[in-house]
Chain A
């Protein structure tokens, strides 16, 4: 039972964090619609509570088996980098020419960090 509760906290936190980041992203582009649908502050409190719970009750005895990286992983990194750059550009395009520079740099940072994570050894 103890293990089950730990797993529930852990999975709930992961799902909530993913949804929170997604809603935060949507809020940047549709601020009124998202604010009318959900109160982001209360959402954040729920994520924090679940985050604390998953730290206090961590999963034990689970070891991730590292798979060798494939071309699909590199393609995903490239896609996420381009998507990130595009989102940054959409948000900052009113700044003028500098928005191109910031968005390209942002995209490169996403690709670079993901690359480092992928290549990281245990």
Chain B
């Protein structure tokens, strides 16, 4: 796109030059004509006015066009290129990442974790993560559905507050974006938590026509000493994991639909369907059970992680200066990157997305062949992170 803008500006300059040239030629020709016709049709003054008007018009048009290019928002359906992030202020705060208009993965507020006052909870939670239903006799139940069971809890025996989860809720999320010539900045602010946490932020920096972006999490509280580690939660499906030491972890996530119905647990006891059949119109008690499989790997201080999809040949590199630990769950297809707090701010997470890529491990280093880069992966990470590091939304 940058190339197109340069071409466009080039064309505009050529246009101005051509017009000036035309004016000079016409002036020369008219001077000749005027000498013949004793300056009957045009005066020199009118010529100057015309040339001045054309110059001002061209400048005006250029100002209008560049104002539209720089300041007008994209239509919603069109995504920033190459990479765009589209957060949604709905339950779980999904922040979808698109590459060339195509969805790739989600950075999730629901899967994001924050340790505060010695407790760890989800960053973007839900005030009522369990469904509340009422039967015809005035009894109220909390319902939570699992892959192979449905749990019903009579609300008389439980505190209603148990139905909330997370530090922040979906009702107080603000999303804003700002565009500059080479960057787009997206800020997601979470306000008013259930604790003394006052706010939290995800700040995205996107780069025009570049295959990388970064996100930084921060949290605000009056008692900052209570803040501890935080985890970025990434939902990434169908990607294998390649580790810096050359190990390849195959994605073994597998979901099978079982030939049996889900178990129904009422106040801690398994009950037959007939026992609670009167609730069938409120909650699907007849659904089939599914079996979820997949490994989980815990890594201490990995330098980076490479995710590779062998169907699309897409590589996603995730890097942060100090990753405390990474939990890679193929069971949920969710990957957590824990980082330490520094005065309310957490180190950014850098993402590099390479298409048409192939990876090879030679001499204890990853070598990558891709559309944008061929060579040593560590060197590419270093140079890309250097370019991303200095850019701030000011």
Contact = CB atoms under 8 A, between A and B. Distances in A.
Interface of A: 3-4, 7-8, 10-12, 15-16, 19, 32-33, 35-39, 41-43, 46
A46 B57 contact: no
> Main SS of chain A's interface residues?
helix
A32 B68 contact: no
Given A8-B60, A12-B61, A38 B49 contact: no
B75 interface: yes
B373 interface: no
A16 B69 contact: no
Contacts of A3: 49
Contact of B57 (A12, A33, A35, A36): A12
Nearest to A47: B64
Given A16-B64, A36-B74, A37-B5, A7 B50 contact: yes
A8 B53 contact: yes
A119 to B, nearest CB: 26
Interface of B: 1, 4-5, 8, 49-50, 52-54, 56-58, 60-61, 64-65, 68-69, 72-75, 78, 80-81, 101
23 contacts: A4-B49, A7-B53, A7-B57, A8-B53, A11-B53, A11-B54, A11-B58, A16-B61, A19-B65, A33-B1, A35-B74, A36-B78, A36-B81, A37-B69, A38-B65, A38-B69, A38-B72, A39-B68, A39-B74, A41-B75, A42-B72, A43-B65, A46-B68
Top-3 shortest CB links A-B: A7-B53, A11-B57, A39-B72
A39 B68 CA distance: 7
A14 to B, nearest CB: 8
Contacts of B53: 4, 7-8, 11
